[in-house]
Amino acid sequence: MRSFRALLYAECVIFARDKAAFTFTFLFPIIFVLLFGFLMGGMGGAEGARLGLYMPDGGRGEVLEEVLAGIGSISVTHYSDQLALQDALEEKKIDFGLVWDGERLLFHYNCTRVQENYAFQQLATGIAAQFNLSYQGLFPILTAEKIHVGKKASTGWFSSVVPGIMAFSILSAGLFAVSGHITAMKERKLLDQMIVTPMRPIMLLSAVICVRLVIVYISTLITLLVAVVVLKLGFTVAWLRYTVFVTSSTVGVMGLGSLIALVVRRPSSASNIANVVSMLMMFLAGIYFPVEIMPSYLRALSKALPLTYMADAMRYVTGVTEMTEARFWGITIAMLVLAALLLPLLGRYIVKPDRGRY
């Protein structure tokens, strides 16, 4: 036990002295959250959307005006001609435009706002459906009524990005913790010195896991706190599920890092591979944009990536999206199984020093 405590202390000191690991674990997630939050924090949502309206003929315009007045989430600006509406759309004075010529509704969007247009198109679909009914003097068969259930909703686009960034930080920290750290110890021959001690080799890997678990958990909490305090986002965190999931996902991706450490000897190569793997997963797992807008073959590929499921589960435990209990616990248990299969199996090979040169 004394030797294990010494290993824990040594791992803490090593991490504190590793400026690259410290920066990547703590600062990068915060930088990503603040950067995307200030630049694009208002994107992706239709709440408070600005609509530009042009009616050249004014044919039955009162019906359209009544429909738009009943949608409380948008503000309407009238324009005297279509060219002025197009200019306002290009200058982002309005979010999307609507032209009613007495016969049909024609919606206009800014082609540069790809991420946001999805929400505006959904809003336009609702406007068109309601107008078609009202124009014919009909009423919807079913009506919807909002009922406040006492929880703060987190349905904005950036509210779903923040848990994705947290999941990505878990992935990168877990991969680098084992792959880069263990291969560096191999190259420096530190493992050769440890093999002559009575310490069991698996204890080193256990010390790495324990220290990184605490570090990753603190890192995700800091990232979440920054999003709440600085960007004024609201999350309803299920703390028990949150703690269990962060723990299981961290040890699970450490198992993936063990695979890298097993086949790569140089720490620089291991870090490069871990970096490439994590970046590819970040772009394909729907962290910054929905998986649904990807081509079909990329959507199929994203389903094979652990980060896709980690991001979905993190959004669930932070109260951003819904998920069945069976799916959440299935993801959590799968990460634990991944760790249970890979870490003990590969640990004795990773921790064992290279004797081939003697």
Whole-number Å distance between alpha carbons of 152 and 213 = 29
Whole-number Å distance between alpha carbons of 63 and 5 = 75
Whole-number Å distance between alpha carbons of 237 and 217 = 14
**Nearest to 310, CA basis, from 131, 170, 202:** 170
Sheet holding 74-78, edge to edge: 74-78, 49-54, 96-100, 105-109
Whole-number Å distance between alpha carbons of 169 and 164 = 9
Flag the least confident range among 63-77, 226-240, 266-280.
Answer: 266-280
What is the distance of C-alpha 146 from the center of its chain?
Answer: 28
Burial of 264 (0-12, 13-18, 19+ CB in 10 A): buried
Domain positions in the chain are 2-41+156-351, 49-135
Question: Is the pLDDT score of 138 beyond 70?
Answer: yes
Whole-number Å distance between alpha carbons of 270 and 196 = 26
Residue 326: the pLDDT is: 95
Burial of 192 (0-12, 13-18, 19+ CB in 10 A): middle
Question: Token digits for 238?
Answer: 């299920």
DSSP at 315:
H
- Cβ neighbours, 10 Å, residue 73: 11
Orientation angle between helical segments 2-17 and 201-229, nearest 10 degrees? 50
Most confident of 31-40, 194-203, 326-335: 326-335
Residue 152: the pLDDT is: 47
Whole-number Å distance between alpha carbons of 200 and 220 = 31
DSSP state letters, 323-337: --HHHHHHHHHHHHH
Whole-number Å distance between alpha carbons of 68 and 100 = 13
Give the pLDDT band of residue 331 (cuts 50, 70, 90): very high
Residue 12: the pLDDT is: 84
Q: Beta partners for 74?
A: 49
Percent of the chain whose pLDDT exceeds 90: 25
Residue 4: the pLDDT is: 74
pTM: 0.71
User: Which residues, 6 or more positions from 314, have their beta carbon under 8 angstroms from its beta carbon?
Assistant: 163, 164, 166, 167, 245
Q: State pLDDT tens for residues 247-258.
A: 999 999 988 887
User: 3-state secondary structure string, 251-291?
Assistant: HHHHHHHHHHHHHCCCHHHHHHHHHHHHHHHHHHCCCCCCH
CATH 3.40.190.10 fits 49-135, yes or no: yes
Percent of the chain whose pLDDT exceeds 70: 78
Q: State pLDDT tens for residues 282-314.
A: 888 888 777 877 888 888 899 999 999 999 999
Amino acid residing at 207? A
Q: What angle do CA 354, 355, 358 make, to 5 degrees?
A: 130
Helix (H) or strand (E) holding 321: none
